[in-house]
Structure 1
Amino acid sequence: MAAEDPSVSGMSGRYATALFELARDEKSVDAVKADLDKFTAMLADSADLARLVRSPVFAAEVQGKALASVLEKAGITGITANFLRVLTANRRLFAVNDVIRGFRALVAKFKGEATADVTVAEPLSDKNLDALKTALKSVTGKDVALNVKVDPSIIGGLVVKLGSRMVDSSLRTKLNSIKHSMKEAG
């Protein structure tokens, strides 16, 4: 399965595939995905946790103890906790974001979903998120999971990347193209 999807290749793809197959066999794909989503949110919110995960300076034992504390506090148990412990013991915790991305891709494929990366200038309301999902579903014919990233530098509008297709309707891009055409005209 991993060989069919270029987004789940290499070392992180092998770990993602192993986790996905275990979760599928245990009929706990949704639970593992929810735990991984929780862990991803914790990584985004804590610079210390992100540093612990990325830095090769910490010994596996130190990373393992710190991770155990984080997992307990977050209530992450079972397959997900064991998997994160294995990544730590194998000195591969630095790749956790790539592994999670690969796992999500495998889950989407398994469920017949597509995933779109959406960049917005400010957080979208639930109503706007639903409208975007509906619009993307009408284009793809599949349910679309959204990875939303807030980037104020795009000023307004949004950038949607779905597979190899990208739609950039950001205000920054429009202003840059106007500036570029004015330079050519002048």
Structure 2
Amino acid sequence: MRGQSRTSLAEVEERFNSVAGTADLGELADELFAVADLFDREHGLRRTLSDPSRPAAAKQGAIRALLDGKVSPAALETTVAVVESKWSHAGDLADAVERLGVIAAATDAESHRQLDDVEDELFRFGRILAANPELRRALADPSKPGKEQLLQELLGGKVAPATLRLVTHLAVHPRRRSLEAGLDEYGRLVSLQRQRLVAVVSSAVPLSDQQKERLAAWLRATYGRDVHLNVEVDPKVLGGFSIKIGDEIIDTTIAGRIEEVRRRLAG
């Protein structure tokens, strides 16, 4: 988000934090996801509630009339905070509500000391999808029924409840994203719960725990923030390893150095 939407999002997150403390966070996440889906489906409603020319009181009254008694007080007050704010684009309204749903799920995981598990599981499930085209097609097909049951059979009891909640929401309501893009986005939001960066490390061989600790310490000293490592083994890596943090790539591989020489020779 940019401009006014970014400012509004920061303000809404502060208000969300003030009402989420006593809420059932898993239930709150589900309710916020349902509200985001509602805004995606009902274009007229979304345009009305995101119209900057309409008074905030009118928009608040409309959303209270629509949701009062149908969602928890925490979900209602969070949604009210969103519709009272000003957004640069109508679509940012649903994006903000979905983001708060992810934050609620991540906070729930953190309260159960499962936040690290959720980060790792979202990453690993993305890799499972990449290696299993049949599963990816089944979950990406908008006409395919029974996705919730399929994911329950695959992941139920094997991952943190927050992971299953997030993956299921993405599969059922992808919101014009690929599953892989949605998993990456959710992974970044989960990581932000501890103000950590996410580094994807590609290595030809598995890294030992000691190597991971040294690498994490170096990245923490370099970036001034804790860094969560997602390590993947890639046989195409020729010596060394590469690290991707956001749009930045640190490449110490032989393949990376060969490619750099090729670029220089090409001009």
TM-score, scaled to structure 1: 0.69
Distance 1:180 1:102 in 2: 31
Matches within 5 A, 1:45-124: 45=128, 47=132, 48-56=134-142, 58-59=143-144, 61-72=145-156, 74=158, 76-77=160-161, 79-90=162-173, 95-124=178-207
Matches within 5 A, 1:97-176: 97-176=180-259
Distance 1:51 1:90 in 2: 15
Question: Deviation digits for residues 50-71 of structure 1, max 9, x if unmatched?
Answer: 3322334x52x33233223223
In structure 2, list runs of 5 or more residues that go unmatched: 7-90
Question: Deviation digits for residues 73-100 of structure 1, max 9, x if unmatched?
Answer: 53654x5444444444446597443333
Question: Deviation digits for residues 130-185 of structure 1, max 9, x if unmatched?
Answer: 1111111111121111122222222111112233432222101223445666788x
Quickly say closer, same or farther: Cα 1:63–1:127, change in 2 above 3 A. same
- 8 Å contact 1:54–1:93 — kept in the other structure? no
Distance 1:22 1:73 in 2: 17
In structure 1, list runs of 5 or more residues that go unmatched: none
Please say if 1:19 is aligned against 2:102. Answer: yes
Query: Which has the greater radius of gyration?
Result: 2
1:72 maps to amino acid? G
Kindly indicate whether structure 1 or structure 2 has the higher relative contact order, using CA contacts under 8 Å at least 6 residues apart: 1
Matches within 5 A, 1:35-54: 35=118, 37-38=120-121, 40-42=123-125, 44-45=127-128, 47=132, 48-54=134-140
Distance 2:262 2:170 in 1: 48
Higher mean displacement: 172-181 or 134-143: 172-181
- 8 Å contact 1:118–1:148 — kept in the other structure? yes
Distance 1:16 1:66 in 2: 25
- 8 Å contact 2:199–2:243 — kept in the other structure? yes
Distance 1:25 1:42 in 2: 20
Q: Say how many residue pairs are matched.
A: 177
Which one has the bigger strand percentage? 1
CA RMSD of aligned residues (A): 3.8
TM-score, scaled to structure 2: 0.51
Quickly say closer, same or farther: Cα 1:49–1:43, change in 2 above 3 A. farther
